[in-house]
Amino acid sequence: MSVLKMTELDLAGKRAMIRLDLNVPVEDGRVTSDARIRATLPTIEAARDAGAAVILLSHLGRPTEGEFEDQFSLGPVARHLGVLLNQEVRLVTDWLDGVEVSPGEVVLCENVRFNPGEKANDEALSKRMAALCDVFVMDAFGTAHRAQASTHGVAQFAPVACAGPLLVEELDALGKAMQSPARPVVAIVGGSKVSTKLTVLEELSKHVDQMIVGGGIANTFIAAAGLPVGKSLYEEEMLDQATALMSNSDIPMPVDVVNATEFSADAVAVTRDVADTTDDEMILDVGPQTAAIYADIIAKAGTVVWNGPLGVFEIDQFGAGTKALGEAIAASNAFSIAGGGDTLAALEKYGGPDTRSIVHRTPLEIENPPG
Ligand code: AMP
């Protein structure tokens, strides 16, 4: 794929606005895991050392648009970044009307998701962002699939838009996996909703030999197969699309599921045959038999593309399917790419040397679990 790269541009004296993924866990005003911040350092340093005035953008968590909430402030990230860069990184709170920044300086704009219109990719908001820079650099692969003002809209209106080094690395890895992949190619698409990943599902279904669906997405497929889903998260309006995908691709149905009657950390998990979900239950993970079937598929794969968890992994009782999947990918010899949604959050949660090997093999992105 041919894209304009940041490294090809002369940034001297330019205002370079770089969209990063600095969505890291913060507790009591401190960053508790800085892997994602460290990953962005080469990009920031390259722009700064080229003589750019560096304006950084990122989201953090999922705040309500239009409302400042301290827990979602990028203040702790600015401080942490300043230590790593060994120079002050000023947090700019009201930045849409103008950002003061000189060449060689690095400033971080407050959470893009505080701005009304960010999620809706609002044109007026995108134009205000674009007006702040000479060059817009997209380097947040994790949010590149979302058409939002700070990822998509701004790139349309900026004088110049280009891809940052991390994004280029991701695209190269994806290109390698997709152009001449070792077969069979297995894609796992988990997460909450079919509607947000329909394009991904449709596109992948054309290229992969087998597709595993997980999470709320799987629930929609389970419902489309005529099986009970009780009170599960699923999308009735996506049933036709799910049926079409199942008829065109090899998508194994879960054979067992882990259910609960409430969505909470104290919920009692019950493992059932996929046909036995009761009206008052929610399907919150795949069961152990299903996890074993998926692990077997992955053991035989040449290439694995993984996007999104198989269950509500933030709650331990519903994390076993995602954990087993991460372990199966780590143990396989397949070329693996993991990313999107909360995939790295899942990898971070289950950690260990095996899952870290996935991180090494592939550039990754994540978002924090919803707060
Ligand atoms: P996404 O952002 O679309 O990748 O979705 C990730 C979110 O989906 C995570 O926060 C999971 O907790 C959630 N999720 C996964 N499985 C389910 C499920 N069966 N029911 C409800 N939410 C789920």
pLDDT at 36: 87
When the pLDDT of each residue in the chain is averaged and rounded to a whole number, the result is: 89
Residues 6 or more apart whose CB falls under 8 angstroms from that of 67 comprise 114
- Please check the confidence at residue 357 and state whether its pLDDT lies above 80: no
Mean pLDDT of 326-349: 78
Ligand 1 touching residue 239 (CB < 6 A): no
Ligand 1 touching residue 312 (CB < 6 A): yes
Pocket test for ligand 1, best of 59, 189, 192 (most atoms within 8 A of CB): 192
pLDDT at 11: 98
Please write the tens of the pLDDT for every residue from 238-269. Answer: 999 999 999 989 999 999 999 999 999 999 99
C-alpha 47 to ligand 1 mean position (Å): 36
Looking at the chain, the whole-number percentage of residues with pLDDT higher than 70 is 91
Pocket test for ligand 1, best of 148, 221, 290, 312 (most atoms within 8 A of CB): 312
C-alpha 247 to ligand 1 mean position (Å): 24
Ligand 1 touching residue 319 (CB < 6 A): no
pLDDT band at 368 (very low <50, low <70, confident <90, very high): very low
- Please check the confidence at residue 170 and state whether its pLDDT lies above 50: yes
pLDDT at 340: 58
Ligand 1 touching residue 341 (CB < 6 A): yes
The amino acid at residue 125 is L
pLDDT at 1: 54
pLDDT band at 351 (very low <50, low <70, confident <90, very high): low
Ligand 1 touching residue 314 (CB < 6 A): yes
